[in-house]
Structure 1
């Protein structure tokens, strides 16, 4: 695993980071909704 990112790997990592943020925010949103209904 290389530390420096190749230009070809940059869009992939950006997409992966965006997907992780969306997954985390939706997970947090579900926790908030479930806490409201409990």
Structure 2
């Protein structure tokens, strides 16, 4: 399955959480997210 196929089954909130979770893991944004720039 493609990434779009997988995320299509998720709600918008779940897609957002997945996106920001991946972004934090990739870019090490844990410190940034704690400042409120990104949703939890």
State the TM bucket, normalised to the shorter chain: 0.3 to 0.5
TM-score, structure 1 as length reference? 0.45
TM-score (norm 2): 0.43
Q: Which of the two has greater helix per residue?
A: 1
Could you say which structure has the greater relative contact order, defined with CA pairs below 8 angstroms and 6 or more residues apart?
2
Larger Rg: 1
